[in-house]
Amino acid sequence: MGNKQTIFTDEQLDAYQDCTFFTRKEILRLHSRYHELAPHLVPMDYTNEPDCKLPLALIVDMPELKENPFRNRIVESFSEDGMGNLSFNEFVDMFSVLSEMAPRELKAIYAFKIYDYNVDNYLCKEDLEKTLNKLTKEELTPEEVELVCEKAIEEADLDGDNKLSYTDFENMISRAPDFLSTFHIRI
């Protein structure tokens, strides 16, 4: 509208607004953030949907993600190729899911994906161990890690298969008091 340089057509902006939890302004800001990450790679003009992806290393360096122990997993989960290369669409998608407005169910799905390190649609003990080690910077002894993981599985596993399926995870996370307040990134 007021921009001298058109980044998106109005249609695109509207479509983005329909598909995400962002307002027009926020989407433009997201684009500028995306652009800042690699000014030479990302074009300013997105009207004809250029095909451009940024590698994981660049995105993980954003201040919003920099301190997050799960940053690699977050980016990987949202990338289409699983390697962490994000197109702008996926970039917007990521922050939309992590935004404040996103509903619990949607967040739960992506949280599940994030914590699923080996991408097998189950949170098995190894996933939990990795999660725990990331959370505590590996300051717990192996026995403690073992105990915590066993306990966590025991608590949340409904079907007794010693790993958490999405149903288990959702059941557990839907009752967590802090999940919504902590699983969100303001950009």
Nearer to other proteins, 31 or 117 (CB): 117
Nearer to other proteins, 19 or 32 (CB): 19
Question: What's the number of CA atoms in the CB half-sphere (13 Å) around residue 94?
Answer: 29
Tokens 């451009």, residue?
52
Nearer to other proteins, 32 or 82 (CB): 82
Q: How far is the CB of 32 from other proteins (least distance, A)?
A: 18
Nearer to other proteins, 24 or 35 (CB): 24
Question: Which residue from 41, 40, 46, 56 is spatially nearest to 11, judged by alpha carbons?
Answer: 46
Q: How far is the CB of 71 from other proteins (least distance, A)?
A: 10
Q: How far is the CB of 3 from other proteins (least distance, A)?
A: 14
Q: How far is the CB of 42 from other proteins (least distance, A)?
A: 16
What tokens does 167 get? 């149903």
Question: What's the number of CA atoms in the CB half-sphere (13 Å) around residue 116?
Answer: 19
Phi, psi torsion values for 86, nearest 5 degrees: -110, 130
Nearer to other proteins, 35 or 60 (CB): 60
Please check whether residue 70 is in contact with residue 116, taking contact to mean a CB–CB distance below 8 angstroms: no
Helix H or strand E encompassing 127: helix 125-136
Q: How far is the CB of 58 from other proteins (least distance, A)?
A: 16
Tokens 């954003």, residue?
62
What tokens does 3 get? 């921009």
Please check whether residue 45 is in contact with residue 53, taking contact to mean a CB–CB distance below 8 angstroms: no
